[in-house]
């Protein structure tokens, strides 16, 4: 059984006095259904679960009047063994994107304010079946990802107290003991190879066999390609898949990780492909890191939509686009060149994205300065540089020297903790979970 942070968020939602219906969104196979079922089992006397893909006939419940009394009566006829009591029954509507009327009904469940309702779906950002009246303002939202690195450590039997000890070293800028550091880097490389998709992680927990993991990852990747083929509109199907499958070339094969349309096909232009990228973003299959023209708050004011990097929403989906030998090189730490730098950059992007940060990067070609990531916290901009070794972060040092308003900066390396000039803190890659 994999321990997931989302359960704490669901418990907080249940404890709210005037809660709305909840929509838990996220890409396919990240553990949404399992987590809600576990939550329902732990916190309610009973749960009614409707999966609109598995039970398309259940759409009939929502085909008539959508007032709550009518819906509850229909649910009692369909589930005669259920009591359906306010506060004691959880109504779980899974794959709700398949039933637009069920989406609309969430508004009326919230207004009624008697029954706890959670809806979940994988492609809620796609407009292919827009609800007749989307319940804007009547639902709360949570977003779920695959396992982050901390959840992966829990799966590897690393206790919360051990992680807390590492966090204390991070906070106090203490060097991590050699043996612990080596083990943590080994776990971090394993996470890069396995990713955060629950099925792949669980397989590794049980077998420690990377080939079994690889087989599962490739199956998941095929599932994502199926979603593109099945749900994208006709003019986007082939283009969206080409954009997606080009990401290994964009991120691992070249020094400049800016998304370049020429990597999709010769002569490709934004005019043809940008709508396909937007589809991947709405489908939660990819996430974007935009270039900014200046390093100051608010970064979105300085962001450029035409200059960006594109990452998969889980590392496993990127790694599975290559053959098994890439996993071997990652785990055995035999990567070199652009691939190693690209892999570590993608790993840090994965960690930061799953922590909820919106990602940006800075590049000034005239001054030859580039910062891998910029994030914002409490009104401050935090620059982050990722290095495959403990080489000098020249661009970061120059930016910090010029921009005295930047109070904090990090260099993430395959090495230990240290303090550099101008307040730059060097930390091991695995400590990105504490940023």
pLDDT above 90 as % of the chain: 86
CATH number at residue 65: 3.40.50.300
- Whether 213 and 138 share a structural domain: no
- Whether 355 and 287 share a structural domain: yes
Stretch among 178-192, 249-263, 385-399, 421-435 having the lowest mean pLDDT: 385-399
For position 132, what pLDDT does the model report? 53
Whether 297 is covered by a domain: the verdict is yes
Whether 367 is covered by a domain: the verdict is yes
Distance CA 96, CA 50 (A): 9
- Whether 183 and 224 share a structural domain: yes
Up-side HSE of residue 7: CA atoms within 13 Å toward CB?
15
CA-to-CA separations, 394 to 157, 308, 367, 400, in angstroms, rounded: 38, 22, 12, 10
**What is the Rg, in whole angstroms, of the alpha carbon atoms belonging to the chain?**
23
- Whether 199 and 216 share a structural domain: yes
Last residue of a domain, one of 110, 143, 176: 143
For the chain, the farthest-separated pair of C-alpha atoms sits apart, in whole angstroms, at 71
- Whether 164 and 137 share a structural domain: no
Whether 281 is covered by a domain: the verdict is yes
Residue 93 phi/psi, 5-degree rounding, is -105, 100
Last residue of a domain, one of 143, 170, 195: 143
Average pLDDT over residues 341-365: 96
Residue 332 phi/psi, 5-degree rounding, is -85, 0
Q: Two tokens at 356?
A: 């909820």
Distance CA 23, CA 122 (A): 11
Q: Show the domain range for 333.
A: 150-434
- Whether 191 and 311 share a structural domain: yes
pLDDT per residue as tens digits for the range 202-221: 999 999 999 999 999 999 99
Asked if 261 contacts 247 with a C-beta cutoff of 8 angstroms, the reply is no
Whether 348 is covered by a domain: the verdict is yes
- For residue 72, pLDDT over 60 is answered with yes
For position 128, what pLDDT does the model report? 42
- Whether 91 and 33 share a structural domain: yes
Distance CA 145, CA 152 (A): 12
- What's the chain's average pLDDT? 94
pLDDT per residue as tens digits for the range 115-168: 999 999 888 877 544 545 678 899 999 999 999 999 999 999 999 999 999 999
- Whether 325 and 289 share a structural domain: yes
- Whether 83 and 226 share a structural domain: no
- Whether 276 and 392 share a structural domain: yes
Last residue of a domain, one of 124, 143, 162: 143
Could you tell me which of 75, 66, 144, 78 has the C-alpha nearest to residue 106?
A: 66
- Whether 158 and 114 share a structural domain: no
Asked if 396 contacts 385 with a C-beta cutoff of 8 angstroms, the reply is yes
Q: Which residues of 26-56 are buried (b: 16+ CB within 10 A; e: fewer)?
A: bbbbbbbbebbebbbeebbeebbbbbbeeee
Total count of domains within the chain: 2
Q: Two tokens at 335?
A: 């990567």
Whether 375 is covered by a domain: the verdict is yes
For residue 286, list its beta bridge partners: 312
- Residues 6 or more apart whose CB falls under 8 angstroms from that of 257 comprise 250, 251, 309, 342, 345
For position 365, what pLDDT does the model report? 81
Whether 368 is covered by a domain: the verdict is yes
- Whether 93 and 135 share a structural domain: yes
Whether 363 is covered by a domain: the verdict is yes
Whether 1 is covered by a domain: the verdict is no
pLDDT per residue as tens digits for the range 11-21: 999 999 999 99
Stretch among 147-161, 187-201, 287-301, 413-427 having the lowest mean pLDDT: 413-427
């Amino acid at each position: 059984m994999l321990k997931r942070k989302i359960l704490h968020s669901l418990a907080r939602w249940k404890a709210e006095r005037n809660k709305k219906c909840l929509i838990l969104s996220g890409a396919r196979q990240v553990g949404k259904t399992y987590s809600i079922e576990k939550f329902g089992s732990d916190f309610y006397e009973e749960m009614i679960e409707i999966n609109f893909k598995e039970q398309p006939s259940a759409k009939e419940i929502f085909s008539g009047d959508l007032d709550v009394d009518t819906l509850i009566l229909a649910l009692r006829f369909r589930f005669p063994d259920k009591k359906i009591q306010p506060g004691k029954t959880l109504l779980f509507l899974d794959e709700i994107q398949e039933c637009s009327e069920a989406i609309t009904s969430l508004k009326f469940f919230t207004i009624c304010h008697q029954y706890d309702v959670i809806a979940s779906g994988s492609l809620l950002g796609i407009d292919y079946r827009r609800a007749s009246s989307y319940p804007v303002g009547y639902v709360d939202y949570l977003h779920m990802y695959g396992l982050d690195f901390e959840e992966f450590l829990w799966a590897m039997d690393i206790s919360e107290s051990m992680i807390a000890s590492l966090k204390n070293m991070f906070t106090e800028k203490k060097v991590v003991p050699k043996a612990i550091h080596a083990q943590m880097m080994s776990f971090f490389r394993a996470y890069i190879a396995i990713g955060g998709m629950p099925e792949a992680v669980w397989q590794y927990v049980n077998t420690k066999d990377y080939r079994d993991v690889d087989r599962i990852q490739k199956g998941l990747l095929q599932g994502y390609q199926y979603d593109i083929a099945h749900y994208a509109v006709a003019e986007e199907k082939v283009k969206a898949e080409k954009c997606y499958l080009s990401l290994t070339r964009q991120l691992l094969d070249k020094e400049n990780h800016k998304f370049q349309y020429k990597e999709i096909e010769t002569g490709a232009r934004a005019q043809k492909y940008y709508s396909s990228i937007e589809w991947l973003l709405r489908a939660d299959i990819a996430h974007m890191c935009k270039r900014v023209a200046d390093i100051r708050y608010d970064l979105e004011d300085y962001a450029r939509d035409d200059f960006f990097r594109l990452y998969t929403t889980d590392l496993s989906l990127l790694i599975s686009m290559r053959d098994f030998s890439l996993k071997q090189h990652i785990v055995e730490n035999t990567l070199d060149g652009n691939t190693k730098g690209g892999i570590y950059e993608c790993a840090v992007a994965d960690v930061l994205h799953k922590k909820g940060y919106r990602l940006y990067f800075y590049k000034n070609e005239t001054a030859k300065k580039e910062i891998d990531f910029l994030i914002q916290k409490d009104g401050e901009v935090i620059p982050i540089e990722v290095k495959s070794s403990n080489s000098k972060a020249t661009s970061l040092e120059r930016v910090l020297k010029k921009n005295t308003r930047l109070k904090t900066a990090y260099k993430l390396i395959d090495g230990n903790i240290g303090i550099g000039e101008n307040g730059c803190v060097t930390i091991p890659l695995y400590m990105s979970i504490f940023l």
